[in-house]
Structure 1
Amino acid sequence: MNVTLTLALFIAAWALLDYLKPQFVANLEDNILSFLLAIITLVSFGQVVARYGFNTGWSAALEFNMLAFSWLILFGMSYGIRTRLHLGVDILLQKVGPQTAKMLGIFGGLLGAFYALIILDGAVLSIVGVDKEGGAITYFAKMYKVGIGVEEMKYPAFVQEMFGLKRPHVQRWVVLLILPISLGLLAYRCLQASWHIYTGQCGSLIAGHEAESLVEENRGALKD
């Protein structure tokens, strides 16, 4: 399995879909995050009812919620870039001229993409003369090859019978699938944000001072 090629094709397809159907992709990302939040809440609530009401529960609930929350955080990285929800300090940007602020914003986006690529594959550091190997892609490929499972989560009995699974536990590579995908999406969104800043479609990568502007713009609506 060529993880790098598969990931590159996935990100390319996502970028193409985002270009052709931006609203569809935006709704899809919203729904994915909403689903993760909902499932975490439902499992937590169900555990409370089961434990205190029936003295039972799902032994893998804690592990499931931890993994689901990690999916929420990792997928939310690129979502935050697209929606400019990441908090940041923009004091410097407010002190410099518009062109300088624009260049700094573009540079920040490129640095964000470079960071995501470094975590994906340390070999990217060879660009700056650093010999480093390993990263999310290497780790995922290793887990896929080894095939070990997580500690608590198991496939339902009917799934085990249907596919003839010899190991009941969910493979670790399944829960780690979000790691290379989220970093790939983060790199894409950072590059996209840099382009949007360059073309004047947005002013910065972060919420920063823009949050105050949004409050002012909607002050009348809030009063209503």
Structure 2
Amino acid sequence: MSTHYEPDTMLGRVVNEFEESAIALILGLMTIITFVNVILRYGFNTGLIWGLEATSLLFAWLVLFGVSYAFKVTAHLGVDAVINLFSPAGRRIMALIAALVCVLYAALVLKGAWDYWANFANLPQTTGRWFPTGLEEMKRTSYRGWYEVVDVPFPEWLRWIEPIMNDGERYEKLPRFIPYAILPIGMALLLFRLVQATIRIARGHSAGLIVSHEAEDAIADVSHMNKGD
């Protein structure tokens, strides 16, 4: 199955550009930080103290962006042994059911992601056990915007957020609400991509959410390479 993706709406194009640009930027930053750290360590017997934490946070961003990206290009792996026992119409129905379950799951995770991040961003969490029914009333004692990461220093060009998020107090390290923002962003992208995939399946433009027979295709490719084909 082809993994080529062409967005057909303005929203789809905007989200696609944001997603791919963010992934490229994250990969570039991880490469630069790691390269600089290696040079400093082996060439000057020093290093970036915050390098490991920074690359770990960037890798977490990359993973969460990658989850939605893989749904976009139908790159997630799955088992289709049972699905292939059904007729094409039956497979389509099962694919739709699976997609709707995934949409429901993504909506639940998005609520949890927002509630977790809001605790660090001086924002209200949602009410409701499973689905949002409103926003909790925020109290001054509920603000957690002062929580910082362990090693990554606070960038000087972000000092303007201190009066907004930290009552004017100076940040020494990066506040956690910045790296943790990938939780609601990543889950919102996941929900968006799953809704897109569900619509494509319903319209007959896609057979499902997963790549079928990728393992078999990979084995065939390796076999051809070994034979010199």
Distance 1:39 1:191, change over 3 A: same
> Normalization by structure 1: what TM-score?
0.75
Question: Among 179, 182, 187, which residue is 1:183 paired with?
Answer: 187
Question: Among 61, 64, 77, which residue is 1:71 paired with?
Answer: 61
* 2:38 aligned partner: 48
* 2:21 aligned partner: 31
Q: Does 1:208 align with 2:207?
A: no
Task: Give, as a single letter, the amino acid of the residue that structure 1 aligns with 2:209.
Answer: L
Distance between the aligned counterparts of 1:178 and 1:136, measured in 2? 9
> Normalization by structure 2: what TM-score?
0.73
Distance between the aligned counterparts of 2:199 and 2:116, measured in 1? 31
Shift of 1:25: 4.0
- Structure with more of its chain in helix, by fraction: 1
Which ranges in structure 2 are unaligned for 5 or more consecutive residues? 1-6, 123-143, 163-167
* 1:154 aligned partner: 153
Distance between the aligned counterparts of 2:77 and 2:119, measured in 1? 35
Aligned-residue Cα RMSD (Å) equals 2.8
Q: Is the 8 A contact 2:149 2:176 kept in 1?
A: yes
Question: Among 105, 113, 134, which residue is 1:136 paired with?
Answer: 113
Distance between the aligned counterparts of 2:172 and 2:8, measured in 1? 37
Distance 1:39 1:19, change over 3 A: same
Q: Is the 8 A contact 2:102 2:194 kept in 1?
A: yes
Shift of 1:30: 2.2
Q: How many residues align?
A: 190
Distance 1:51 1:165, change over 3 A: farther
Which ranges in structure 1 are unaligned for 5 or more consecutive residues? 1-16, 122-134
Q: Percent identity of the aligned residues?
A: 33
* 1:14 aligned partner: none
Q: Secondary structure at the match of 2:79?
A: coil
Task: Give, as a single letter, the amino acid of the residue that structure 2 aligns with 1:68.
Answer: L
Q: Residues 41-99 of structure 1, C-alpha deviation per residue, up to 9 Å, x if partnerless?
A: 22111111111101121111101001000000111111111100111111122221111
Q: Is the 8 A contact 1:107 1:194 kept in 2?
A: no
Q: Residues 112-165 of structure 1, C-alpha deviation per residue, up to 9 Å, x if partnerless?
A: 1111111222xxxxxxxxxxxxx2111111111211111111123465499676
Shift of 1:19: 1.9
